[in-house]
Amino acid sequence: MAVTRLLLLSNSTTTGLGYLEWAGEAVRDFLDREIRKVTLVPYASVRTAFDLFTEKVSERFAQWGLELESVHASDDPAAAVRDAEAIAVAGGNTFRLLHRLYETGLVDAIRSRVHEGAPYIGWSAGSNVACPTIMTTNDMPIIEPPSLRALGLVPFQINPHFTEAASSDLNAETREDRLIEYVALNPGMTVVGLREGTALRVEGRSMRLVGDLPATLFALGRDPWKLGPDGDWGALLP
């Protein structure tokens, strides 16, 4: 059986850097040298047309020596995914993304292709849909997908852009408050609060944190705890 390979980034943009620029070293190190073409899933984009969005991502990937083709330009998106050398699922609105994945038959197609060994790169919403569900996204449900169930490429949930900072509204719930509520109603599920500038890299039954900042983990029955790059990340995988 092929080894599942995932690079799940918290974010695409960082102050002072261009789109995905911060992740260049992690992406190049993750992809096999023989991979030259990446199949993009841009369906999380709402306000930017898919053509323009693909152009922006393509410019960055070209700097890494990679050619990009987008499923939105294909008459058969599922077939494009089945033939993919590697898959990149971009950020945006998670509900919009999952809705289109179901609509185009890509939920099963992506899952199958990744299990066959195709590397998967996701950022923000693209990392959310790699989880069992999208229930720990930060996004507003601007459209209703057929289900909240997602790709299930990892057995835990991710909260991208995680921060411990309080809202400017002093009466608002913190991100930590909301994730504690989630694990209270979903016993047995762990949530990884993934800070910006970090990523999870999965290679089969091995996983590690990429970046300098620790993640914060949430599970029922214990206080939130931090886990850094040197922690036992493999314990989250079956």
User: How confident is the model over 8-22, as pLDDT tens digits?
Assistant: 999 999 999 999 999
Q: Residue 170: its pLDDT value, please?
A: 59
Is 217 part of a structural domain of the chain?
no
pLDDT tens, position by position, 50-61: 999 999 999 999
Is 161 part of a structural domain of the chain?
no
Q: Residue 201: its pLDDT value, please?
A: 98
**Of 124, 147, 223, 232, which one is the catalytic site residue?**
124
Is position 99 annotated as part of the catalytic site? no
Question: Is the dihedral angle over the CA atoms 132, 97, 12, 111 positive or is it negative?
Answer: positive
* Beta carbons within 8 Å of 83's beta carbon, 6+ residues apart: 39
Is 218 part of a structural domain of the chain?
no
Q: Residue 107: its pLDDT value, please?
A: 98
Structure tokens at 168: 């400017």
Question: Is the dihedral angle over the CA atoms 47, 50, 56, 57 positive or is it negative?
Answer: positive
pLDDT tens, position by position, 20-69: 999 999 999 999 888 999 999 999 999 999 999 999 999 999 999 999 99
- Selection from 221, 218, 222 nearest residue 236 by Cα: 218
**Of 12, 161, 168, 212, which one is the catalytic site residue?**
161
Q: Residue 195: its pLDDT value, please?
A: 98
pTM of the model: 0.96
Q: Residue 21: its pLDDT value, please?
A: 96
How many structural domains does the chain have?
Answer: 1
Is 63 part of a structural domain of the chain?
yes
pLDDT tens, position by position, 149-188: 999 999 999 999 999 987 666 567 899 999 999 999 999 9
Q: Which CATH number does the domain housing residue 44 bear?
A: 3.40.50.880
- Write out the H or E segment, with its range, that includes residue 77: helix 77-82
Mean pLDDT of 182-210: 97
Going by their DSSP bridges, the two strands 120-123 and 5-9 should be labelled as parallel
Is position 139 annotated as part of the catalytic site? yes
Is 226 part of a structural domain of the chain?
no
Is 65 part of a structural domain of the chain?
yes
Cα–Cα distance list, 174 to 45, 93, 178, 182 (Å): 26, 20, 7, 13
Q: Which structural domain, as residue segments, surrounds residue 37?
A: 5-154+197-209+232-236
Q: Residue 2: its pLDDT value, please?
A: 86
pLDDT tens, position by position, 103-153: 999 999 999 999 999 999 999 999 999 999 999 999 999 999 999 999 999
Q: Residue 33: its pLDDT value, please?
A: 84
Is 221 part of a structural domain of the chain?
no
Cα–Cα distance list, 109 to 13, 77, 168, 187, 216 (Å): 28, 9, 42, 29, 31
Q: Residue 166: its pLDDT value, please?
A: 72
Is 122 part of a structural domain of the chain?
yes
**Of 51, 139, 147, 230, which one is the catalytic site residue?**
139
Q: Residue 49: its pLDDT value, please?
A: 98
Q: Residue 168: its pLDDT value, please?
A: 61
* Beta carbons within 8 Å of 95's beta carbon, 6+ residues apart: 134, 137, 139, 140, 141, 142, 143, 144, 145
Q: Residue 28: its pLDDT value, please?
A: 95
